[in-house]
Amino acid sequence: MHNSWFFFQHLIPALSEKIKGLQLTSCFSQQKDELILGFSNQSTSFFIKASFSSGLPGLSFPDVSGRAKKNTIDLFQEAITEKVLRVHLFLNERSFLIETAPNSGFLFRMHGASGNIFLLKDGVVTEAFRKNLKKPLNESLSEFDRKLEFSPEVHTTITSDHKKFYFTFTREIWLWLELQGYEQARPLEQWGLIAEAIQRMAQGQYYLLLHDGKWYFSLLPFGKIISEWRDPIHALNEYVSWWYREEALHKKRLVVSARIKSHLDQTIRYLETSRRRLEALGHDDHFKVAADLIMANLDRIHVGDQEFQATRFDDPSKEVLIRLQPTLTAQKNAEFYYRKAKNRNREIEVLHQNIRNKENFLTEIQQIASAFSTSFDLKSLDALYDRLPAERTTPDQELRLPYHEFIHLGYRIWVGRGAADNDELSFKFGKKKDLWLHARDCPGSHVVIKHIAGKNYPKPVIDYAASLAAGYSKRKGETLCPVSVCELKYVRKKKGDPPGLVRLEREEVVMAVPYRA
């Protein structure tokens, strides 16, 4: 209703009193669909801000222009220094003219997001603020006044839609009439309600209201009154300021709500997936069973065998078919399956830890969600927003480690999965006393032997890790491969280096036969 003719009946006389006799001293735009006009004399200044944005189109009157140093453009410069004679409101129209000469000045058409401002000279448009609008100004000023007769005689003869007939009535007026029983009333009773509404609106009382969960700026009281004012300029400024605060609050609530929901949904999905995976792993012991059966039957398995069938220890009625790597001895095949079982146990440990972490995280998000339901100001919403992680990895990313793990002579050996994983393995998971290996002069995986306190790295362990470094490199097809070896504290990475690329401060080189799985 802040753009209605009924409100303008109060606003325009007050505006005319403020700027009559002042000169236009500035006119510029620094945001799309927003124009600021400054008027002043030697003792006073007054600013009009006209916005035609889709959010809250309308007028406001800032104390200062607040012009930015960049991205502003001067407009309507031919009118600079012209003096305001009066401000004229057209009859039953949301348009008014800031007149600087007869039939000249600034014509404001406050038609919401399709409104515009024109500069007139002797009734002819010389410039328009919004040049891209499809509907230019074609009418003459004499055609702007619109006739609408308010009388009981006319009202009782209305045969068309009442809302179309009373085209100046806003939704707030119709809502007030409906709350008074307008729809059920007889024609003369309806007219009585209309007359009462017009009389009330003429009193110049302005309200910010809440009704059925919606906010209204109104000249008629209904619902819950939040604020009320008597001065139209002050009322409009307060309403615009309130609206932008509410808009910022609303947008912030949407952002926080969406992030809370995203974290809740993602965390619940992760827990469901991980628990299913954990349950499946808990019932799957075939790697260890295979290794134990091979060790129990070393004399029956020979190099070249591709499979071996044996009876389970815990259930003699079940036989197990074990796939073998024909190039390996029985003991090496057992080591392979023990390593698989070890990795499976490691995966179970990681799953347990991730599930505990996610359950704690879920509790935290649920607490934030509970606090969000009672947070209705920007400060508390900002605090909740800061507690929410900006991005969360997907369940697969969180479960996936950046390395494969091998066990040799009691030492854990980690082999990077790829270039990006290499950096994470070396600089996030590795420790400075770990031993670091990499095939020389070619792309390949970083390999890390985990340090055991109080022990030196045995040569067989270094040789085995070197064979892994060679086998997980571009030189895996060669007979022998040179491998760099150093403590991880001597491995450096410069800013800007591509993933996986590092620099060594010192190294030793060993020759290794590339590992073949």
pLDDT at 395 over 50: no
pLDDT band at 64 (very low <50, low <70, confident <90, very high): confident
Shared domain for 262 and 292, answered yes or no, is yes
Residues 369, 447, single domain; the answer is no
CB 141 within 8 A of CB 103: yes
pLDDT of residue 486: 96
* Arithmetic mean of pLDDT, 357-366: 90
Q: Is residue 249 part of a domain?
A: no
* Residue 392 pLDDT exceeds 80: no
One domain, residues 351 and 440: no
Contacts of 343 (CB under 8 A, 6+ apart): 404, 405
Q: What is the mean pLDDT of residues 181-191?
A: 93
Q: How confident is the model at residue 139 (pLDDT cuts 50, 70, 90)?
A: low
Residues 119 and 168 in one domain: no
Burial class (CB in 10 A: 0-12, 13-18, 19+), 66: exposed
Length of the chain: 517
Same domain, 336 and 305: yes
With respect to residue 236, please indicate whether it lies within any of the assigned structural domains: no
pLDDT tier for residue 393 given thresholds of 50, 70 and 90: very low
Query: Percentage of the chain with pLDDT > 70?
Result: 96
In degrees rounded to 5, what are phi and psi of residue 42?
A: -70, -20
pLDDT band, residue 517 (cuts 50/70/90): low
Band (396; pLDDT cuts 50, 70, 90): very low
CA neighbor of 492 nearest in space, from 483, 479, 501, 482: 501
pLDDT in tens, 491-508: 998 887 888 889 999 899
Q: Which of 151-160, 352-361, 390-399, 445-454 has the lowest mean pLDDT?
A: 390-399
Residue 219 pLDDT greater than 50, yes or no: yes
What pLDDT is attached to residue 44? 92
Instruction: State how far the Cα of 218 lies from the Cα of 225, in Å rounded to an integer.
Output: 10
Given this model, what pLDDT does residue 210 score?
Answer: 92
In a domain, 178, yes or no: yes
Same domain, 262 and 390: yes
Question: How does DSSP assign 62-78, residue by residue?
Answer: -SS----SSS-EE--GG
Looking at residue 113, what is its pLDDT?
85
Contacts of 345 by beta carbon, 8 Å cutoff, 6+ apart: none
Average pLDDT over residues 31-54: 92
pLDDT at residue number 499: 83
* 349 and 479 together in one domain: no
Asked if residue 303 is part of any domain, the answer here is yes
Confidence of residue 134 (pLDDT cuts 50, 70, 90): low
- Domain count across the chain: 4
* 216 within domain boundaries: yes
pLDDT at 208 over 60: yes
Q: Which domain holds residue 167?
A: 152-230
The string of pLDDT tens digits covering residues 402-428 is 898 898 888 999 999 888 899 999 998
Q: Is residue 434 part of a domain?
A: yes
Is residue 248 domain-resident?
A: no
Predicted model pTM: 0.59
Q: For residue 517, is it within any domain? A: no
Among residues 143, 169, 204, the one where a domain terminates is 143
Under the banding of pLDDT at 50, 70 and 90, the label for residue 316 is confident
User: In whole angstroms, how far apart are CA 455 and each of 333, 411, 452, 471?
Assistant: 28, 11, 6, 26
Does residue 163 share a domain with residue 139?
A: no
- What is the pLDDT of the chain when averaged over all its residues? 89
Q: Is the pLDDT of residue 202 over 50?
A: yes
pLDDT digits (tens, 9 = 90+) for 232-253: 999 999 999 999 888 888 888 8
Residue 196 pLDDT exceeds 90: yes
Sequence-separated (6 or more) residues with CB below 8 Å from residue 132: none
